[in-house]
Amino acid sequence: MGSFLHRHRSLTPYLLLAPGMLWLAIFFLVPMVFLGYQSLQSGLFPHFQFTWEFSNFSSALSGYHTQLVRSFVYAGIATLACLVLAYPLAYWIAFRAGPWRNLFLLFIVAPFFVTYLVRTLAWLNILADQGPVVRVLRDVHVLGPDGRLLATTFAVVAGITYNFFPFMALPLYVSLEQIDPRLLEASKDLYASSTQSFLRVTVPHSMPGIVAGTLLTFIPAAGDFINAALLGTPNQAMIGNVIQAKFLESLDYPTAASLSFILMGTIMVMLLI
Amino acid sequence: MAVESRERPDRGQTPGQTPNETVDVRLDHVTKSFDDVVAVDDVSLEIPHGSFFALLGPSGCGKTTTLRMIGGFEEPTDGAIYLGEEPVTGRPPYKRDVNTVFQSYALFPHLSILENIAFGLRRRGVRGKEVRGRVLDILRLVGLEGLERRKPRQLSGGQQQRVALARALVNKPRVLLLDEPLGALDLKLRKQMQLELKAIQHDVGITFIHVTHDQEEAMTMADRIAVMNQGHVEQLGPPDELYERPASAFVAGFLGVSNLLSGVVEDPDGVRLADGTLVQAQVDGKRGPVAAGVRPEKITLGESGGQNRLPGTIAETAYIGVATQFVVDTPAGTVHVFAQNIDSGKRIPVPGSNVTLSWSPESTFVVERGEEMSE
Ligand SMILES: Nc1ncnc2c1ncn2[C@@H]1O[C@H](COP(=O)(O)OP(=O)(O)OP(=O)(O)O)[C@@H](O)[C@H]1O
Ligand SMILES: [Mg+2]
Q: What residue ranges do the domains of chain B occupy? A: 23-97+173-244, 257-373
ipTM score here? 0.81
Strand order in the sheet with B278-280: B278-280, B270-273, B259-267, B289-294, B365-368
Asked if B108 and A188 come within 8 Å (Cβ–Cβ), the reply is no
Radius of gyration of chain B (CA): 24
Q: How confident is the model at residue A1 (pLDDT cuts 50, 70, 90)?
A: low
Question: Is B344 close to ligand 1, i.e. is its CB under 6 Å away?
Answer: no
Residue A43: the pLDDT is 82
Residue A2: the pLDDT is 58
- B1 versus B153: the higher-pLDDT residue is B153
Q: Select from A182, A188, A200 the Cβ nearest to the Cβ of B93.
A: A188
**Residues within 5 Å of ion ligand 2, judged at the Cβ atom:** B 64
| Residue A44 backbone phi and psi in degrees, to 5 | -115, 150
Among A34-48, B1-15, B100-114, B357-371, top mean pLDDT goes to: B100-114
Nearest CA to ligand 1 atom 5: B34
Q: What is the mean pLDDT of residues A260-269?
A: 92
Per residue in A96-119, pLDDT (tens digit) is 988 999 999 999 999 889 999 999
Does position B7 have pLDDT exceeding 80, yes or no?
Answer: no
Amino acid identity of residue A44, one-letter, is L
Between CA B262 and CA B368 the distance in angstroms is: 10
Asked if B104 and A205 come within 8 Å (Cβ–Cβ), the reply is no
Q: Where are the beta strands (DSSP E) in chain B?
A: 23-34, 37-48, 52-56, 78-83, 86-87, 98-101, 175-179, 207-212, 224-229, 232-237, 259-267, 270-273, 278-280, 289-294, 300-301, 308-319, 323-330, 333-340, 354-359, 365-368
Residue B20: the pLDDT is 47
Mean predicted lDDT score pLDDT of chain B: 89
Instruction: Name the helix (H) or strand (E) containing A47.
Output: strand A47-50
- A1 versus A7: the higher-pLDDT residue is A7
Residue B270: the pLDDT is 86
pLDDT above 90: percentage of residues in chain A: 60
Residue A131: the pLDDT is 86
Q: Which CATH superfamily is domain B257-373 in?
A: Nucleic acid-binding proteins (2.40.50.140)
The DSSP symbol for B353 reads -
Q: What is the mean pLDDT of residues A164-168?
A: 95
The CATH number of B23-97+173-244 is 3.40.50.300
B116 Cα to chain A: minimum distance (Å): 10
Q: Which atom of ligand 1 is nearest to the CA of B66?
A: 18
CA–CA distances in Å: residue A225 to residues A145, A231, A246, B304: 30, 10, 13, 101
Per residue in A8-26, pLDDT (tens digit) is 777 888 888 889 889 988 9
Q: What is the mean pLDDT of residues A239-243?
A: 92
Neighbouring CB atoms inside 10 A of B104's CB total 15
Per residue in A138-152, pLDDT (tens digit) is 989 888 888 888 889
Neighbouring CB atoms inside 10 A of B9's CB total 7
Residue A271: the pLDDT is 86
Q: What is the mean pLDDT of residues B179-187?
A: 89
- B356 versus B371: the higher-pLDDT residue is B356
Q: Which atom of ligand 1 is nearest to the CA of B32?
A: 12
Residue A184 at interface with chain B, using a CB cutoff of 8 Å: no
Between CA A210 and CA A217 the distance in angstroms is: 10
How many Cα atoms within 13 Å fall on the side-chain side of residue A125?
A: 5
Does position B338 have pLDDT exceeding 50, yes or no?
Answer: yes
The pTM of the full predicted model, rounded to 2 decimals, is 0.82
Per residue in B9-51, pLDDT (tens digit) is 344 444 444 444 689 999 999 999 999 899 999 999 999 999 9
Asked if B167 and A190 come within 8 Å (Cβ–Cβ), the reply is yes
Residue A146: the pLDDT is 84
Between CA A247 and CA B259 the distance in angstroms is: 94
Helix (H/G/I), strand (E/B), else coil: A190: coil
Nearest CA to ligand 1 atom 4: B34
Mean predicted lDDT score pLDDT of chain A: 91
Per residue in B216-266, pLDDT (tens digit) is 999 999 999 999 999 999 999 999 999 999 999 999 999 988 899 999 998
A190 Cα to chain B: minimum distance (Å): 4
Asked if B108 and A187 come within 8 Å (Cβ–Cβ), the reply is yes
CATH topology of domain A65-272: MetI-like fold (1.10.3720)
